[in-house]
Amino acid sequence: MKLSTEQEQFFIERIKKEFGRPEEEAAATVESLQKMLYEGDMQIVYYLQYRVFKENDPAYTQKLLNFLFEGYTYLYDQTDNQEEKEKLGVGIQQLFYFLFIERCGYAKEMEEQSLVSQHILKSVSDRLNSVLKTQESMIANLSHEMRTSLNTIHGYLSIIDESKVLRGEQKFQLKKAIHGAVSLQSLVKDILNITKINSGQLEIQKSFFDMEEMLLQCIDHLSIEIKNRQRITFEYESMFAPFLVYGDQMHMMEIIINFLTNAFKYTEEGFVRLKMTYKKETKGIRAVFSVSDSGVGMTPDQVQDVFNPYSRYQKKKQGLGLGMHITKQLSDRLGGQLEVESEPGAGTTFSFSYLFEKTQEHQPGVQGKKIYFYIEKSMQERTYVKEKIHFLKQHGATVKTFKSENSLINFLLNAHKNIPDILSVLSEPQNYTKIDALIYYLRSGKRFEKTIFIAENMRQHLSLKYFDDLYEYCAPVKIYEKLLKKETANKKTSGVGLSVLVVDDTETNLDIFRLFIGKDYPNAKVDLAGGGYEGVGMCKVKQYDVIFLDLKMPGMNGFEVMRKLKELNMTLPPIYAFTADVYKSTYDKIFEYGFEGILEKPLQPEHLNEILQRITNAETA
């Protein structure tokens, strides 16, 4: 038995209208449907099952259901024979079962399997979270121990630097040691970075900073390498940047240092060049930091592979091959862009581009100051030098330039007025020694005692004793502000009446706090507690203006001390957490407990000073 011509045409028209199928395809579908109803051929069932699965759309399924119901009703009404009606009913039941009932059973089975999978995943997740928590605790302990030692090294070096007992080459060596300590601090962070990246806990910490000063710190990190690799010429080029940028300085430094390390690793002779350029865009300042070398270069396949973990394209080279992988992860996390250009035998250029959306005009603090320069002829037309001098004049400095050595010497020997606050020398390497001797002669006669003498752009290590500060490259303009602030340090608030409590279980940390505070606030009263119990006891008998509290102490840690102080129902001063813990979870806990803020280890004197200045300003307001 088969459908009549009229019945076939009914179904063809319905398929064309409801499903948008062409005439031939609709006719073929009707023929397959007829074979299923009257011959038991299941081909149309499998086809419709596939269509329902592919469409995965309730509207399509509803449309198909309506079509089948209407078709069945139409055929049932058209048939008078009871046997045909029963056969038609059996066919429709099979069709409904395979299309809908079986699919519902399959969905139920999948739901049960999904519940089992969710249970397994939850169990795995719980185990993983437990491992990560153990790992986080281990890293936090390691970080605490390493940074506590770094705090001692960096703290005492900074105190020697501030005492101004060293000058010339010894001052230069001290500065390198300080930068080495800073680099070591960065390295400690770097060791933790790959773990934090993998666990998704890498924090981005943004602040305003000077790009040129950051680049000089990167160079200092490689200073020994630069000095020892005599067959390599190191070059540094930077545009003058009269503004601060807002970004994650430490992680950007790590990217640039990794570029430099890689360049020296794969260059035997020739050059390594660090360059910084920038341009203004609609949304901010786009800076490009690039490192080029004349080293071995890379093939296209090696370039493609360079950011993969444990990738070293010369196996004899030292290292794990993680540096460039970390660089890529950091760049992605910061939202920057990395580019690589390389050619075998011709060298490589790595560049990191970043859009600083927030900038801040640099206020150099030179209003009314006299800043004089001796600029050797070969440097007088350099754009960087011209822009720096123009910037200083714009901000109220009196700037005078000596263009010959004779005019400089004549001024120094005969000047009795208009003595400069800063005198900066940019000359050929052989001339610095002569001027260094002249500074000694002048100061022996009690002249120019308050003038800061700076040797800039020396381009090599020189043994100078009497210059106050030495720079192998042009000094960032921010350096002048820092040097002038040091000169006027004796005019700062003495801290009369300021009462400070420091709670830490490490004796050297307490000593460094005492020395840092006493340097700028000699009249401040600083009490030192060697642990949490002692700190709580001292708070019971004395009211303080500010408390610095180490978080990781035996017996009673910083959080427990904070909770205990709150239980005393006393008026608490601002309390700052002193910590080496770098995890966001700790930061969140610090503010949850009500701390005023955070001081990271190793202690940075400028950060400590900012806090004490706020406290003293509040006291005198």
Angle between the 23-39 and 82-96 helix axes, to the nearest 10 degrees?
110
Comparison of pLDDT for 224 and 141, the residue scoring more: 224
User: How many angstroms separate the CA atoms of 352 and 203, rounded?
Assistant: 19
Answer whether residue 307 is part of any domain. yes
- Residue 287: phi and psi, rounded to 5, are -105, 145
Q: What is the pLDDT of residue 343?
A: 92
Q: What is the mean pLDDT of the chain?
A: 81
- Mean pLDDT over 257-278 rounds to 92
CB of 310 within 8 A of CB of 321?
yes
Q: Of 126-135, 221-230, 426-435, give the lowest mean pLDDT range.
A: 126-135
- Mean pLDDT over 570-598 rounds to 84
Find, among 290, 280, 292, the residue nearest to 355 by Cα.
Answer: 280
- Mean pLDDT over 88-109 rounds to 62
pLDDT band at 429 (very low <50, low <70, confident <90, very high): confident
Residue 618 Cα distances to 545, 601, 611, 614, angstroms = 10, 26, 11, 6
Residue 60 has pLDDT above 70, yes or no: yes
Q: Are residues 457 and 585 in the same domain?
A: no
User: How many angstroms separate the CA atoms of 554 and 208, rounded?
Assistant: 36
Answer whether residue 132 is part of any domain. no
Helix (H, G, I), strand (E, B) or coil at 525: strand
Find, among 276, 181, 307, 261, the residue nearest to 473 by Cα.
Answer: 276
What proportion of the chain, given as a percentage, has pLDDT over 90? 31
pLDDT tens profile 321-355:
567 888 898 899 899 999 999 999 999 999 999 99
Comparison of pLDDT for 312 and 43, the residue scoring more: 43
- Mean pLDDT over 279-298 rounds to 94
Q: Are residues 355 and 208 in the same domain?
A: yes
Torsion of CA 138, 143, 144, 148, to 10 degrees: 150
User: How many angstroms separate the CA atoms of 272 and 374, rounded?
Assistant: 29
Answer whether residue 550 is part of any domain. yes
Q: Which of 112, 139, 161 is the last residue of a domain?
A: 112
Helix (H) or strand (E) holding 314: none
Q: Which of 66, 85, 112 is the last residue of a domain?
A: 112
Q: Which of 40-54, 119-133, 466-480 has the highest mean pLDDT?
A: 466-480
Q: What is the pLDDT of residue 145?
A: 62
DSSP annotation of 101 reads: I
pLDDT tens profile 433-448:
889 999 999 988 888 9
What proportion of the chain, given as a percentage, has pLDDT over 70? 76
Answer whether residue 13 is part of any domain. yes
Q: What is the pLDDT of residue 352?
A: 97
Q: What is the pLDDT of residue 238?
A: 92
Q: Are residues 461 and 520 in the same domain?
A: no
Number of domains in the chain: 4
Segments forming the whole domain that contains residue 584: 491-620
Comparison of pLDDT for 279 and 184, the residue scoring more: 279
Q: Are residues 219 and 354 in the same domain?
A: yes
Answer whether residue 312 is part of any domain. yes
- Mean pLDDT over 75-90 rounds to 72
Residue 27 has pLDDT above 80, yes or no: yes
Q: What is the pLDDT of residue 560?
A: 95
Q: Are residues 339 and 418 in the same domain?
A: no
Helix (H) or strand (E) holding 469: strand 469-470
Q: Are residues 218 and 88 in the same domain?
A: no
CB of 261 within 8 A of CB of 321?
no
pLDDT tens profile 8-22:
888 888 888 888 888
Q: Are residues 399 and 336 in the same domain?
A: no
**Which token pair is 141?**
């302990």
Residue type, 384: Y
Comparison of pLDDT for 112 and 465, the residue scoring more: 465
* Residue keyed to tokens 């035996």: 554
Answer whether residue 514 is part of any domain. yes
Q: Which of 344, 361, 378 is the last residue of a domain?
A: 361
Beta strand residue intervals within 210-361, DSSP E: 232-238, 243-247, 270-281, 284-293, 337-343, 347-356, 359-361
Comparison of pLDDT for 556 and 86, the residue scoring more: 556
Q: Are residues 228 and 328 in the same domain?
A: yes
Q: Are residues 307 and 385 in the same domain?
A: no
User: How many angstroms separate the CA atoms of 460 and 474, rounded?
Assistant: 12
Q: Are residues 508 and 408 in the same domain?
A: no
Q: What is the pLDDT of residue 334?
A: 92
User: How many angstroms separate the CA atoms of 188 and 182, rounded?
Assistant: 10
Q: What is the pLDDT of residue 490?
A: 45
Q: Are residues 209 and 347 in the same domain?
A: yes
- Mean pLDDT over 605-615 rounds to 83
Q: What is the pLDDT of residue 391?
A: 93
Find, among 185, 259, 176, the residue nearest to 217 by Cα.
Answer: 176
- CATH code at position 299: 3.30.565.10
CB of 362 within 8 A of CB of 230?
no
DSSP annotation of 602 reads: S
Residue 510 has pLDDT above 70, yes or no: yes
Answer whether residue 79 is part of any domain. yes
User: How many angstroms separate the CA atoms of 505 and 144, rounded?
Assistant: 12
* Residue keyed to tokens 């050929």: 428
Residue 275 has pLDDT above 60, yes or no: yes
* Residue keyed to tokens 């006393």: 570
CB atoms within 10 A of CB 494: 14
Answer whether residue 211 is part of any domain. yes
Q: Of 92-101, 364-373, 430-439, give the lowest mean pLDDT range.
A: 92-101
Q: Are residues 332 and 233 in the same domain?
A: yes
- Mean pLDDT over 72-88 rounds to 73
- CATH code at position 610: 3.40.50.2300
Q: Which of 227-241, 279-293, 461-475 has the highest mean pLDDT?
A: 279-293
pLDDT tens profile 113-143:
666 666 666 676 666 666 556 655 665 566 5
Q: What is the pLDDT of residue 117?
A: 65
Q: What is the pLDDT of residue 199?
A: 57
Answering whether pTM is above 0.85, one says no
pLDDT band at 195 (very low <50, low <70, confident <90, very high): low
